[in-house]
Structure formats: structure tokens, C-alpha cells
Structure 1
Amino acid sequence: MPNYIGPDRIIEKKQRYMIPCLYHFYERPMQIVKGEMQFLYDSEGNKYLDFYSGVSTINCGHCNPAITERVCEQVKTLQHVSSIYLTQPVVDVAERLAEIAPGKLKRSFFVNSGSEANEGAILLAKVYTHDSEVLALRNSLHGRTQLTISLTGLSFWRTEPNPVGGISFVPNPYCYRCPLNLKYPDCDIACAQEVERVIETSTSRNVAAFIVEPIQGNGGIITPPPEYFKEVKRILDKYGILLIADEVQTGFGRTGKMFCMEHFGVSPDIMSVAKALGNGMPIGAFITTDEIAECFTRPGSSTLGGNPVSMAAALATLDYIEENDLPGRAARLGDYLRSRLIELKNKHRIIGDVRGLGLMQGAELVHEDRSPAVKEIDIILEKLKDRGVLLGKVGEFRNVLAFQPPLIIEKEDIDQVIETLNEVLVEME
């Protein structure tokens, strides 16, 4: 066995040499040393079924040979020259994205992360509209740069003491805890109507864009009603405001379609992607229409954005997703996962709500008065880890179990997770 230093020494070095804002899961964490499709392994040889995918990143599985081999070949051939030189992989990925992106989205700009993609999307919207203000949703998370932190509607992520101005927040479509104290479907999608109210009362009406996650991932797997985005788009079009879809977590098959906005029958004006596009390689992009792209003519570049290695990973990833119909697989297995989670909800009072699409499902944990079960979720995650299952936790109060596995999982893997979670919940009761 290799000479791994182990979790204690890693934590010691982390505390000494890394900025303390970087946290980790678990009271007794492990050192992860190997990945193999839906499984991870630690330095002690323990095997874990990964149901979080590096936060919706490893859609095609850890170290998938079909992707890894092509990345290794590219590294041995050409690793980097920057976008000031011509290379083929970057234009090939741009062409593939144009083929699969919804609506008229066609032109791409490549960067290294979702934060950069969202930053670039906002910049493009401002250049195109000549407006400066932006709308965002409560409970959103859009990145770790100064602007994207300011666009984030979760207070514990907003570490910037002087946030960027010109941003107004809209109530999110959180039906389980409706911010307007209404009940779907009798509410007539009042949360969508609030977009117009915010435009009229909280802005100068010089609004360039409304940036949204189709399903709010870090915010708690918050999934809008089916008609929400159509009504939002109607309002935005009335005021000449662009819709930016942040598909960083939801893209590339995760929700049962290639992109989540396809579920809602709405095509965004700009779309940001990252994470699963590279299946673990650093990558991001924002994509827009011919018309909007034509306004962005002043010099722009990204030193590492579009580098041949990340582009080779993207091409291999897109091939694997399409050849294995991972969106269709996510839809089928997602329906099964959801049905099993609802079974658990009917057995255990601590599960207050189950929501999501495809293989992006959330189970909100609550007390009998529906207050967030904050302490309990950490105990549950620890017990699951000790039994070889890894889940995420998200939400404003971090009380939502996040089920976001690699899309290559089997039905038996879902059964294992559900049965293990049931054992833990019974034990805690």
C-alpha cells in the first residue's frame, strides 16, 4: 500500500498552510485516494458508494477509462498554448455545445470554472443591454468571485464585506417553505409575479439580466413548479431583461435532460456551464445566441480557458454522455430513486419533503414542527459514511440530504443507499 499520510496529518497541514475558510465534511473524515466509476476508496482501503459526485461533477463516473485515456493522450501531445493560438479541440467543443444547447444558443466562451462562467455571462448581458443592474434568487449560489458571491442569496456564503451593488433578490420558488406563505397550485405562481414587483420597486429599471439556477442546488434542491419559468420569461421579455440559466450543477444529463431548462419549455438568452462538462477537469463556459454574441468584440481572452486538455476531457465526456444516453438513464433511475425516497418519507417523520428532477433529488430533514433538523443531518451523514455511503448536505440551514450520484449508477446502488439510510433513521428513532 502507498505511504498515505492519513486524515490527521492532512488536517494538520491544512490548518497550517491553507486559508481556514476551506471546510470539510465529517467529524471523523477520511483521506480519499482513489476513484472508480461510482465508488471512492480511502487510505485504509475502505470502499464508498459516492452519491454526491463531487457536487454534480462526476456525471460519467470517477476515472472513467473512456475519458481518462483521451485526456492522457492529449497531455502527452499538447497541454497548453493559450487562446491566442489556434487549436482544434476548443472549436470542436464549441461546435458540440451549439448542437446540444437549447434554443438559439450557439456561441461559447471558455473559462476554468462555474464562477468565471457566471461572471462572464453577467458581463456579456451588461455589454449587450447597456444596463447595469442584475436580479437573482434568494437561496442561490453562483460562485466564489466578488461578483458571484454578491449574486449569491445564501448569507453564510456572502463573505464579501462590501458586496457589489445593483443586485436585487427575488423570492425563490420554494414551495415547501413558501416565502410568500402561499400554497401551490392555488398561489397562481405568485413567486414569479414577484419578479415584476421587484423590477418596479427595487431597481432603476436598468436591469441587464436575471440569473437563475433551474434547480437551486446548494440552496436545497429547490425545484420550481412547471409553469414558473414561462411566467418569468414573459415578464423579463416585457422589460427587455435577459434570462441567464446557471446550469453549472444541473447540466449534462443530471436532471433527465441534457439541460434542466428543457424541462420548463424555456430557452435562456445566456447559459453558463461547468462541472460535469469536464467530468472532473477544470472547465467552464458561457453560451449565447448569435445576436447577443455579436456585441462582444473588444479583446477578450482566458489564459487556461479552452486549453487542449480540458477540451479533450469535454469531448470525451460529451461522447460518453450521448453514446450511453445518460440523460435518459438519469430520468429512469431518478424516478426510481424518488419513489424510494417517498417510501422513506412515509416511514420516517424526519423527512419533511422530497423534491428534484432526475438524479438530482433532495430530502429535507425536519422536526415535527417543521423546523430544520440541523444537528441530526450531521449525525446521519456520519453514520452513512461509516456504512460506506456518501451523500451531500445543502439548503439554507444545511438540513437537506442531496442525492446527486454519477449517472452511471445501477438500480442496486439506489437500493443500497435507501436501505442504508433506512437503517440509520431507524437507529436514530
Structure 2
Amino acid sequence: MNSLHDRHRAVIPDWVSLYYRNPIEITHGEGRHVWDAGGKRYLDFFGGILTTMTAHALPEVTKAVSEQAGRIIHSSTLYLNRPMIELAERVAHLSGIPDARVFFTTSGTEANDTALLLATAHRRSNQILAMRNSYHGRSFSTVSITGNRAWTPTGLSPLQTLYVHGGVRSRGPFAHLSDTEFVRACVADLEDLLGHTADVAALIAEPIQGVGGFTSPPDGLYAAFREVLDRHGILWISDEVQTGWGRTGEHFWGWQAHAGSGPPDVLTFAKGIGNGMSIGGVVARAGIMNSLTANSISTFGGSPVTMAAGLANLSYLLEHDLQGNARRVGGLLIQRLRAIGAASPLVREVRGRGLMIGIELVKPGTDEADPQAAAAVLEAAREAGLLIGKGGGHDTSALRVAPPLSLTVAEAEEGAALLEQALRSV
């Protein structure tokens, strides 16, 4: 009989990546742990790509899903939908955007696609500013604004995209500068870029780049950018698909580290809010959101079942102060990983905040990225019983650590020890 892996390769596209030389089937989870089909237990430090935000099999979420499914599973946005309206009210309030409107989608890709539609229609321009090393999704429009060549399969695009410096602090032509000088140089680059173009619709940026390896600029860069954007009437879209809901610990949204000019014009979210259910969305000022002049609906966005899950998950997150937990436990974990990194010739940098931590690997004695080492550490960690992710620029040399936000101190210590063991084995 063919293995599940063989069956996968026979019917799933080659470009759908799988982790590990011998990919694992995850059959169930509880808390911060999952089990594979062979019964092996793993400490989950990746959460299905930052999506299992609170915990696996969280009773409050599974109960909400079950109860809603027992009433009605689907109706579409053509009918009034109480769970969707209730979640939209809460998200609008939490977003910080005045007079906000919320549109729900089924993924972060679709959320960013919608944000681009809104911005280009509102500004009557198809020119977009994006950050180098960025990632915004896999649709035709979002790959065209993704500044990471490993995730951009085509150069064809409905948009004209210009890429700006600033998403990566410790590499590139401005890496040697102080934080203040770095921000000043990036702003000057933006000013120069805008001097050669006209009628740009928006800048889209991740406050911390996710697929890019959890890189980020100094706090305040996007506030400085915003002053320039406002002079030109250009919108700011904050892609909070990975940074939202308190994961960074210090702030509920990533944009709040750059809050000198207030909230973004448009905010996109997904992943963690559903704790595994398919929820994405866009928040924007009413004047922007309502600027579309054609009809639109969403068949599956705002599904009663996913909205019930989102409400239960958000309530749990706020009532248990998981943002505070991310700040406290994440701070301890970053300190521990930095100590481990200081003793490993493979580790160039440990960066991030809260429970969003990147570990960049290089060839020992050099500054050259080492994607082979990253792949080897990923394998070794899995063998030891720890699931992590990887990312980075085109070299994919950064390990990504992003556990559920309910992580305990003991689990943080356990995960750090397993990761240290994996680094030493490589």
C-alpha cells in the first residue's frame, strides 16, 4: 500500500511544500503539544504557522464551534449574521481605527488582496509600495507585492510595485547605521523613490516580517514613513496577519510600535484569531471601505461557525491576558535563546519580541547565510520532539519560533533546551 506521503505527491502540486525528509501527519493536539500518526508527542513552537494562537483543542473554542454547527453552519453575507456582526464590532473597537468597517475573508492572502482592491480603487492607481523581503500571500495580486523571491512564482502582475528599504535591520546597505540614522536613510530612500513616480495608492508593510524571518525595522520607522505618505495622500496598509492579537507582547498590534502618526488607514488580519479556523479580514476607515462602487459579497467569509470560533478565541485571549503572557514568557525565552546563540557558532542573531522569535543561522566564522544548517536544525529539533518553522530571504536561513500564546515558563525552558540540543547536533 502506498504511504500517505506517496498519495500526497500523486495528487497535490509539487509546489505545496512539506517540512522534513520524512513528513509527519499530525493527528491531534492539546495545549501546546501535538501528536503524529505514530504516537510521538511534540512541543509545538510553530502553531501551524502562527495560527494556533491560544492552544490546541481549546475547550472554549471547540464548544463554540460545536454549538454553532448544531444551529446553522452557513448562510453567506447575503443575510444578517449575528456572530459576524458581534466579532466585527469587537475587532473594529480593538483596531484603533476611527469609524472602522470590517470585512471578513477566509485567509490572510484574501485579506491582503481585498486591502489592495480597496486602496487601488480609492486612490485610482495601481501603483503599490512594498517592503523588500516581505511576504503578503499566494494570490496573483499578493505575490506581485511580495519582496521575497522564494515566494514569487511570476513576474506578471496587475500592479506596479516599488520596493522600499527598511524591513530588515541587520542586513543591507543601511545595516551599519545607528537606529536613528537607519530610519533617516530609509525615509530619504522613500522620498527619492516618490520623486520618480506619481499617484501611488498605498504602502503595505508587515510591522515584523513573518516569512522573511521575523525581521523588523527600528520602532518608529513606519511613523516616519507615514509623515511622507500623508503629504502625498498615500494610504498605509499594516499587514497584521502574523503580528496581530498580542503576539509581540509589548503591543496588541504590530503597528503600535510605530504609532507616532496614529493607526494605519487599512489593517489586515488572519491566522491567530480563528485558532485554526479559516478567518481573515480587513479593517479600514469607512471612507475607504465604502469607496467601492460595485456590489460584493463573500460566500464563506464571516461564516457563522468561524465567527463563533473567533469570538470565543478572542474572549479567551483577552480574559487570560495572553498578550501579557507573551511579553513575560516570550521575554524569558528570548533571553534564553540569546544565551544559547552566543555559545553557538551557527547563530548570527536572535531577534524578535514576545512569542515571535527568529534565529538567523550562518556558516561558522562568516556572515554568510546557511539554509542547509537551518534545514538540519529543523530536522534535529523534530527528532528531539520540537516543532519549529523556518524562513528568511531567498536563503531561508532563519529558524522561526512562535508557540501558542498560552506557553508556560516550564514549556519555554523545555523548548529552549531541545533547540539547544538540535543546534549542538548540527
TM-score range, shorter chain: over 0.9
Specify the SS of the correspondent of 1:173: coil
Q: Is the 8 A contact 1:117 1:272 kept in 2?
A: yes
Of residues 291-300 and 40-49 in structure 1, the stretch that sits farther from structure 2 once superposed is 291-300
Looking at structure 2, the residues matched to 296 and 417 of structure 1 have their Cα atoms a distance apart, in angstroms, of 47
2: distance between equivalents of 1:118 and 1:126?
12
Specify the alignment match of 1:114 in structure 2: 108
Partner amino acid, structure 2, of 1:228: L
Q: 1:371 to 1:295 in 2, by over 3 A?
A: same
What is the match of residue 235 of structure 1?
A: 228
Name the residue aligned to 1:374. 371
CA contact 1:215–1:222 (8 Å) conserved in 2: yes
Q: Determine the structure 1 residue equivalent to 2:355.
A: 359
Compute the displacement of 1:86 (Å): 1.2
Q: 1:390: which partner in 2?
A: 387
Whole-angstrom distance in 2 between the partners of 1:192 and 1:178: 15
1:280 is matched with 276
| TM-score, structure 1 as length reference | 0.95
Which string of whole-angstrom CA distances, capped at 9 and with x for unpartnered residues, describes residues 171-195 of structure 1?
2331211344532236341123322
Report how far residue 130 of structure 1 moved: 2.2
Asked if 2 retains the 8 angstrom alpha-carbon contact of 1:111 and 1:305, the reply is yes
Corresponding residue SS for 2:268 = strand
Shift of the alpha carbon at 1:299? Answer: 1.0
Q: State the Cα distance separating 1:324 from its structure 2 match.
A: 0.6
How many residues align? The count is 420
Pairwise CA RMSD of aligned residues? 1.5
SS of 2:156's partner is: coil
CA distance in 2, matches of 1:331, 1:72: 32
Whole-Å separation in 2 of the counterparts to 1:165 and 1:126:
9
2: CA distance, partners of 1:294 / 1:378: 46
2:239 counterpart residue number: 246
Question: Paired residue for 2:410?
Answer: 412
Which of residues 211, 216, 226 is equivalent to 2:209? 216
Which residue of 193, 199, 205 corresponds with 1:198? 193
Matches of 2:26 and 2:99, distance apart in 1 = 38
| Cα contact 2:355–2:402 (8 A) shared by 1 | yes
* Alpha-carbon separation, structure 2, partners of 1:143 and 1:425: 30
Q: Is the aligned partner of 1:38 residue 2:63?
A: no
Q: Deviations over 1:201-232 (max 9, x none)?
A: 2x3x1111000001001011011101211111
* Residue 341 of structure 1, aligned match among 337, 340, 358: 337
- Shift in Å at residue 414 of structure 1? 1.1
Structure 1, unaligned runs of 5 or more = none
Whole-angstrom distance in 2 between the partners of 1:188 and 1:315:
40
Aligned-partner Cα distance in 1 for 2:189–2:337: 32
Q: 2:64 aligns with which of 65, 70, 77?
A: 70
Sort the Cα spacing of 1:15 and 1:294 in 2 relative to 1 into closer, same or farther, 3 A: closer
Q: Trace 1:283-302 onto structure 2 (pairs within 5 A).
A: 283-302=279-298
Q: For 1:123 and 1:165, how far apart are their aligned partners in 2?
A: 10
Further displaced range: 290-299 or 365-374: 290-299
* One-letter code aligned to 1:298: A
**Aligned residue for 1:151?**
145
Q: What is aligned with 2:117?
A: 123
State TM-score, norm by structure 2: 0.95
The alignment partner of 1:174 has SS state of coil
2:331 touches 2:354 (CA, 8 Å); kept in 1? yes
CA distance in 1, matches of 2:414, 2:175: 37
1:58 counterpart residue number: 52
Find out whether 1:207 has 2:203 as its counterpart: no
Assess if the C-alpha contact under 8 Å between 1:277 and 1:283 holds in 2.
yes
Contact kept, 8 Å, 2:277 with 2:306, in 1: the verdict is yes
Shift of 1:383: 1.0
Q: Deviations over 1:4-35 (max 9, x none)?
A: x9xx7111111111111111011122221111
1:147 partner SS: helix
The answer to whether the aligner puts 1:88 opposite 2:82 as a matched pair is yes
> Which residue of 256, 263, 267 maps to 1:267?
263
- Give the match for residue 332 of structure 1: 328
Q: Structure 2 stretches of 5 or more lacking a match? A: none
| Alignment partner, residue 397 of structure 2 | 399
